[in-house]
Structure 1
Amino acid sequence: MLDIKWIRDNPGLMDQALKKRGAEPIAERLIALDEARRAEIGRLQDMQSRRNAASKEIGTAMAAGDKERAEALKAEVAGLRQAMQDSEEAARRNDEDLSAALSVLPNIPADDVPEGADEGDNVEIRTHGNKSTWTHPAKEHFEIGEALGGMDFEGASKISGARFTVLKGDLARLERALGQFMLDLHTTKHGYQEVSPPLLVRDPALFGTGQLPKFEEDLFKTGDGRYLIPTAEVPLTNLVRDEIVDMANLPLRFTALTPSFRSEAGSAGRDTRGMLRQHQFMKCELVSITDAESSVAEHERMTACAEEVLKRLGLHYRVVTLCTGDMGFSARKTYDIEVWLPGQNAYREISSCSVCGDFQARRMNARYRVAGEKTMRFVHTLNGSGIAVGRALIAVLENYLNADGSVTVPEALVPYMGSKTRIEAVR
């Protein structure tokens, strides 16, 4: 959530930032809401002061035997009591109106984020490795997986409907191997603490990370009011909700391998074949909690950790900076890592690493204490895919396809595959 004090001091910058993100100017309305709220609070404080003073005056009048004066003061106190109740209710409504207006506003982009309307305006900043050069034709992952006998879309549809996949045999093991490899890498080499979080969360957790209230249609909601997590970012980031962290303990770095659940609202007709866009998928998530001065450097570090997964898998990829029109709601700046898929002859996103500043922390009331300072500061939060397991499986299938239809197991995964070096069709 944005800081209303900053908006009061910088209304022009606020509207300029929203314009970059394709949103309408709103600073004037927010300031008016805030002024109404503050004015009501001021009236309430004045009435409280007068009530306290009148109460003391009642005692003085009684002691002086001035009953008429005492009764008049009592009537005044009674009237103030009712007026204060009305004022408290008005202040509460004003506060709710301001909070509701702020809660649907996206984060302010960092100064170095390229301005643009959509993914066509994203900026490539580096590449790693080379595209596959084969003499045999490239194939898409679903062609490869079905030919191997380990990818069943029809069976999944029969059980759960569209946008689900059943993996069997070596492909199921490959998915498990990828997830375990990622967890081991991030915990043993990159300093992240493994967490096994709940997959069901309540409204405040999703509000904290920015999915609610604006993006409820993207979520799966249970009958008892909980939600299936759209990403482990939600429970991992909320570990510090309503907490005060000692700065000496920062940064906190968490990782989790979990299923993620998304309704894919608004994606009709996009990636309808295969595993690219699913309602349920495995993802290894990275979350960092830092102090304000360290978050930019932590963003570069987190992105490098995600890149290392692809380097060890021997996959060609590029890193792009998302433009203002393509960034997520809570992000100040985002790097997307896009892996090369020869079957599609295209780069596709496999990881997204974002720095959110104190945007999520304000929504969660997550703060840290600096030694020697009385005032608390809001932590900075970061999140990234480290990486999406299903899309990594797609990339391995398409980039390690052999001419005979078998798939070579990347060297880094061989220990996780029981020393198997090749996946062949089920006979």
Structure 2
Amino acid sequence: MSESPTNPHAANLLARIEGRTARVGIIGLGYVGLPLALALCRAGFPVLGFDIDQRRVALLNRGESGIRHIASDALQEALAENRFEATADFARLGEADAVLICVPTPLTRQREPDLAFVERASRQIAEALRPGQLVVLESTTWPGTTLEVVKPILERGGERSGETFFLAFSPEREDPGNPDYGTRDIPKIVGGDGAHALQLAVALYGAAMASTVPVSSPSVAEAVKLTENIFRSVNIALVNELKVVYDAMGIDVWDVIAAAATKPFGFMPFQPGPGLGGHCIPIDPFYLAWKAREFEVPTRFIELAGEINTAMPRHVVDRLAEALDRRFRRGLNGAHVLVLGVAYKRNVEDTRESASFRLIEILEDRGARTSYHDPHVPEIGPTREHVQLAGRRSVDLTPEALAGFDAVLVATDHDDVDYALVAQHMRLGLDTRNAFAKRGLDLARVVKA
């Protein structure tokens, strides 16, 4: 048992958390919120999930996760035990003892932070806020957001953080589709606005996660998440740049990385690709770069990495144009290209910030016709940046279909694609993921990019 806090509101909430009677509200039931909800349900907490999408709410209440790597049986078990309910009625936020915010934090078209979803969630909580509640922001954002944006909104009604309610930041660290590390296995970073908030948040997450890592403030916790993803962005940019350099020298960058990775210290392998995708790495570095400008501090490494990674789709298309010219004495204009994979990473259906969408746009701007095949994305849904792609459907992979394309561009290397079939029947392959070589297939018609 934890030492009882001196604040009566905190003491009462801590007792409810330790007794597993505290009701947890989660705003946003997607790739972050749903696995978190299920982890808390498994730990014995009743969970009330909030989402603005009525169809998603109905789907979840029927026991269907709607997300490939999240098993529906865990959701059905939580429903059967009356531990989970989804709702679109945000007036019910007052029913929760702890409210966790798991909403998107995208960028604007000007590559600046867009906190509209966080601010809206904060206002919805503020309207129902009552003494004794814990509020935790999980959405990735710039250092200072919890205290400078969320806290003032919550305090507008007269409640005070650290006195009548408690505020913390705990960054989501999800890796969708990772078979080795699920929500419960990943250590949970926690930073609280004061000692009581930290104690409560650690107690809540500690009941459901394998371990917690308390830090000194919400801003430190916010900076931890950005640092993790900026580290990845910079290193991916490095291998992407090396790919271009080594390709000019006739050297296979994947062979280089595989050999370098045999060193037991001082090297960590990162893999090149057609550009960045997902909800974190293409976005998070810009959050810190934007905030750093307030302090007149340059972020040259971060911005250079962003430039390199953002330029990769155009480099890939240039390589395809060269390959078509060399093989068939034709350019991209009028060529029919199959993009293999539109999810942002292998073996998931998540298309957020997918580099494949940018590849398709560039190809079509240069006169090519495009189709796509993705076993996990039967139809492209609405997106903020690529509205013209919504509604397009995945084509079947057949020998006849493959023979009808001038080139196949491997953008995402899903495991459940028949690469042997593709290699046998395609006219030309442009491989950005080393997919054919990893499977020991004939590379006579494959160009790496």
Same fold (TM over 0.5): no
Larger strand share, 1 or 2: 1
Q: TM-score, normalised by structure 1?
A: 0.20
Instruction: Kindly name which structure, 1 or 2, has the bigger radius of gyration based on alpha carbons.
Output: 1
Q: TM-score, normalised by structure 2?
A: 0.19
Q: Which has the higher contact order (CA 8 A, sep 6+)?
A: 1
